[in-house]
Amino acid sequence: MAGVKGNKNAAKKIDELELLIPAYIQHLSEGLSKECFVDCDYRTIEKYLSETIVLQTKKERAERAGRLFWERLMMDVATGKSKGNPAVLIFTMKNKFPESYKDRTEVEQTIINPEEDKKLIAEVERIKKIINNEQES
Protein backbone atom coordinates (compact mmCIF):
# COMPACT_ATOMS: atom_id res chain seq x y z
CA MET A 1 0.00 0.00 0.00
CA ALA A 2 1.42 3.35 -0.97
CA GLY A 3 1.87 5.89 1.77
CA VAL A 4 0.00 9.12 2.14
CA LYS A 5 1.78 12.34 1.19
CA GLY A 6 3.46 13.85 4.26
CA ASN A 7 3.51 10.52 6.09
CA LYS A 8 7.05 9.14 5.93
CA ASN A 9 6.25 5.94 7.82
CA ALA A 10 3.06 5.05 5.97
CA ALA A 11 4.26 1.97 4.11
CA LYS A 12 2.00 -0.69 5.62
CA LYS A 13 0.93 -3.85 3.90
CA ILE A 14 -2.79 -4.42 3.41
CA ASP A 15 -2.79 -7.43 5.74
CA GLU A 16 -1.16 -5.30 8.46
CA LEU A 17 -3.79 -2.59 7.96
CA GLU A 18 -6.62 -5.08 8.14
CA LEU A 19 -5.32 -6.18 11.55
CA LEU A 20 -5.25 -2.56 12.75
CA ILE A 21 -8.74 -1.60 11.56
CA PRO A 22 -10.69 -3.09 14.51
CA ALA A 23 -8.39 -1.30 16.97
CA TYR A 24 -8.76 1.97 15.03
CA ILE A 25 -12.56 1.64 14.94
CA GLN A 26 -12.62 0.95 18.70
CA HIS A 27 -10.28 3.91 19.28
CA LEU A 28 -12.64 6.29 17.45
CA SER A 29 -15.75 4.88 19.13
CA GLU A 30 -14.25 5.66 22.54
CA GLY A 31 -14.17 9.34 21.66
CA LEU A 32 -10.44 9.50 21.05
CA SER A 33 -9.05 11.57 18.21
CA LYS A 34 -7.71 9.91 15.09
CA GLU A 35 -4.44 11.81 15.52
CA CYS A 36 -3.60 9.99 18.74
CA PHE A 37 -3.92 6.47 17.30
CA VAL A 38 -0.48 5.04 18.02
CA ASP A 39 -0.23 1.83 15.97
CA CYS A 40 -0.32 3.51 12.57
CA ASP A 41 -0.71 6.98 11.13
CA TYR A 42 -4.43 7.68 10.79
CA ARG A 43 -4.00 8.97 7.22
CA THR A 44 -2.77 5.58 6.09
CA ILE A 45 -5.68 3.74 7.66
CA GLU A 46 -8.23 6.26 6.43
CA LYS A 47 -6.93 6.05 2.88
CA TYR A 48 -7.42 2.28 3.02
CA LEU A 49 -10.85 2.63 4.68
CA SER A 50 -12.03 5.08 2.01
CA GLU A 51 -11.55 2.42 -0.67
CA THR A 52 -14.34 0.23 0.77
CA ILE A 53 -17.86 1.44 1.53
CA VAL A 54 -18.35 -1.11 4.31
CA LEU A 55 -15.17 -0.02 6.09
CA GLN A 56 -15.94 3.66 5.53
CA THR A 57 -19.39 3.10 7.06
CA LYS A 58 -17.84 1.39 10.10
CA LYS A 59 -15.47 4.33 10.55
CA GLU A 60 -18.32 6.86 10.33
CA ARG A 61 -20.35 4.86 12.84
CA ALA A 62 -17.36 4.76 15.20
CA GLU A 63 -16.97 8.54 14.88
CA ARG A 64 -20.65 8.98 15.78
CA ALA A 65 -20.20 6.66 18.78
CA GLY A 66 -17.21 8.72 19.88
CA ARG A 67 -19.24 11.88 19.62
CA LEU A 68 -22.04 10.22 21.59
CA PHE A 69 -19.51 9.48 24.34
CA TRP A 70 -18.59 13.18 24.61
CA GLU A 71 -22.17 14.43 24.42
CA ARG A 72 -23.33 11.99 27.10
CA LEU A 73 -20.44 13.06 29.32
CA MET A 74 -21.39 16.69 28.78
CA MET A 75 -25.03 15.96 29.64
CA ASP A 76 -24.05 14.00 32.76
CA VAL A 77 -21.93 16.90 34.01
CA ALA A 78 -24.60 19.46 33.10
CA THR A 79 -27.29 17.56 35.00
CA GLY A 80 -25.08 16.80 38.00
CA LYS A 81 -25.04 13.06 37.33
CA SER A 82 -21.23 13.21 37.03
CA LYS A 83 -18.66 15.62 38.37
CA GLY A 84 -16.61 17.62 35.92
CA ASN A 85 -15.62 21.06 34.80
CA PRO A 86 -18.23 22.42 32.35
CA ALA A 87 -15.80 24.98 30.95
CA VAL A 88 -13.32 22.26 30.06
CA LEU A 89 -16.07 20.22 28.41
CA ILE A 90 -17.29 23.20 26.39
CA PHE A 91 -13.72 23.91 25.28
CA THR A 92 -13.28 20.25 24.34
CA MET A 93 -16.52 20.14 22.34
CA LYS A 94 -15.63 23.33 20.46
CA ASN A 95 -12.27 21.85 19.49
CA LYS A 96 -13.42 18.31 18.70
CA PHE A 97 -16.60 19.31 16.85
CA PRO A 98 -16.10 22.87 15.57
CA GLU A 99 -18.94 22.72 13.03
CA SER A 100 -21.54 22.03 15.72
CA TYR A 101 -20.10 23.81 18.75
CA LYS A 102 -19.07 27.33 17.88
CA ASP A 103 -19.88 30.74 19.26
CA ARG A 104 -20.78 32.42 16.01
CA THR A 105 -21.86 31.62 12.49
CA GLU A 106 -19.72 32.72 9.60
CA VAL A 107 -21.71 34.52 6.89
CA GLU A 108 -20.33 34.96 3.42
CA GLN A 109 -21.52 37.94 1.40
CA THR A 110 -21.02 38.42 -2.30
CA ILE A 111 -21.59 41.78 -3.95
CA ILE A 112 -22.91 41.14 -7.42
CA ASN A 113 -23.63 44.69 -8.53
CA PRO A 114 -22.25 47.60 -6.47
CA GLU A 115 -24.73 50.03 -8.08
CA GLU A 116 -27.67 47.89 -6.95
CA ASP A 117 -26.20 47.82 -3.43
CA LYS A 118 -26.01 51.63 -3.43
CA LYS A 119 -29.68 51.82 -4.46
CA LEU A 120 -30.65 49.38 -1.74
CA ILE A 121 -28.71 51.33 0.89
CA ALA A 122 -30.36 54.58 -0.25
CA GLU A 123 -33.81 52.94 -0.01
CA VAL A 124 -33.07 51.67 3.51
CA GLU A 125 -31.96 55.17 4.55
CA ARG A 126 -35.15 56.66 3.05
CA ILE A 127 -37.28 54.17 5.01
CA LYS A 128 -35.38 54.96 8.22
CA LYS A 129 -36.14 58.67 7.77
CA ILE A 130 -39.82 57.92 7.25
CA ILE A 131 -39.90 55.78 10.38
CA ASN A 132 -38.04 58.40 12.43
CA ASN A 133 -40.44 61.13 11.30
CA GLU A 134 -43.46 59.00 12.24
CA GLN A 135 -41.98 58.26 15.69
CA GLU A 136 -41.35 61.96 16.35
CA SER A 137 -44.96 62.85 15.53
**38: which residues sit within 8 A by CB, 6+ positions away?**
none
What confidence tens digit (pLDDT) does each residue in 22-81 have?
A: 999 999 999 999 999 999 999 999 998 888 899 999 999 999 999 999 999 999 999 999
Question: Which of 20, 24, 28, 22 has the alpha carbon at shortest distance from 1?
Answer: 20
- Enumerate residues 6+ apart whose C-beta is below 8 A from 115: none
Residue 18's pLDDT band, with cuts at 50, 70 and 90, is confident
Predicted TM-score (pTM) above 0.75? no
CA distances from 107 to 1, 75, 93, 104, 110 (A): 41, 30, 22, 9, 10
